[in-house]
Each structure stands twice: as C-alpha cells, then as structure tokens.
Homo-oligomer: A and B are copies of this chain.
Amino acid sequence: MDVAGKTPIGRPRGFDADAALERAMIVFWEQGYEGASLADLTSAMGITKTSMYAAFGNKEDLFRKALERYEEGPAAYVERALRQPTAREVATAFLAGSVGASTRPGCPAGCLGVQGSLAAGEAGRPARDTLAAWRDKGRLHLRDRFRQAVDEGDLPPEADPGLLARYLMTVANGIAVQAAGGAERDELEQVAEVALRNWPPT
C-alpha cells in the first residue's frame, strides 16, 4: 500500500507548508516567541490565521516546528561538528558553526535557540522551556562525544567531558548574545579562537 503517493482527498492546500514554516522560523528568530504575534507570523507566511491553525495547530506547535526546522537548517552545524574525528576538531567546528549561524547574512543575528525565548511571562513559558531543553540536549550530545574521546585516548584521561561540553555551550550561547547585540562575524571568530586556546592537548 502506497503510504505517501496518494493525492489526499478534499481541497488541496494552496500554499507551500515548508516555505511557510521557513518564514515563520525567521519571524520567531527575529522577534522571539512572545514578540512574534500571529499577525506578524501569518503575514510573513502569506496565509491566513485559519490556514495556519489547520496546518500547524497553534502558535506553540508552530514554534516547536520552527525550532525543528532551525535544527535541520541553520543549526545543522551541531550534528556536523559532532561527527568530526577528534575532540579538538569537534570543539573548533562547533564554535565556528555557532559564529556562522549567528551572523549569517540574510538571517536574523543571533540564535533562535537562545533569543527565541529566554525569559517569558506565563504565556511564553512552554516555549522557553522547550528552548532550554533543546540547548541542554545539544550540551549532552557534546558531553557524550567528549566521553567517547576520553575512551579513545583522544582527550587526556583527567579531562572532564561534562565540563568541557558546558564550557563550549556557554561560549556558544555568549556568541549568540553578542551577535544579537550587533557583533560582527570576524570579531566573534576571534573570540572563538581565544576560547579554544586552552583546549586540552591531545
């Protein structure tokens, strides 16, 4: 039985849901969860509120889906960094990717995972918690990767994988804040370089 090939019954949707989600991601990235109104979102997406609700659920669902999109797109550098052969290369690629994503031309400055919602009122709390969990997931992936590096002798046995992961994530978060405040790409590349100067020797 063909699961995907069939044309669905009923009137087909008149817009590209993927493209609309991409637009929504940009708006959330630029204005944050609470700062992005449904009017802002749907106007950027080129659809009406009704279509948005039918296609994505509600504002919170839309935000989560925009975050998934962000993870696969601008934040894909995390996965790429984790696949580097040595811990040092992982760290370097991670910070370089963080700088790149936070200062990407044509995109909002900073990181959706940080500025999407850091402090929020009652209404924005689920979105804030979603982002905190998302950042934590990345941090734990880094930690696991550095544990593996210790096992492989790629990091000295006395290295603390959890601490190194948190250190890197802290610098990346700081880079995102700096970028949101207008810091330029080359300035942040220098910061990343300084941050890696004290990386444990292999």
Which residues of A pack against B, CB within 8 Å? 29-32, 34-37, 40, 108, 110, 114-116, 118-121, 123-124, 132, 135-136, 160, 163-164, 166-167, 169-178, 180-183, 187-188, 190-191, 194-195, 197-198
Contact = CB atoms under 8 A, between A and B. Distances in A.
| Tally of this chain's copies | 2
Contact of A114 (B123, B135, B177): B177
Nearest to A176: B177
29 contacts: A29-B119, A30-B119, A31-B120, A31-B121, A32-B34, A32-B118, A35-B119, A35-B120, A35-B121, A35-B123, A36-B121, A114-B177, A118-B118, A132-B182, A136-B182, A163-B191, A166-B178, A166-B187, A166-B191, A169-B174, A170-B171, A170-B174, A170-B177, A170-B188, A170-B195, A172-B174, A173-B177, A174-B175, A197-B198
Contacts of A163: 187, 190-191, 194
A100 to B, nearest CB: 16
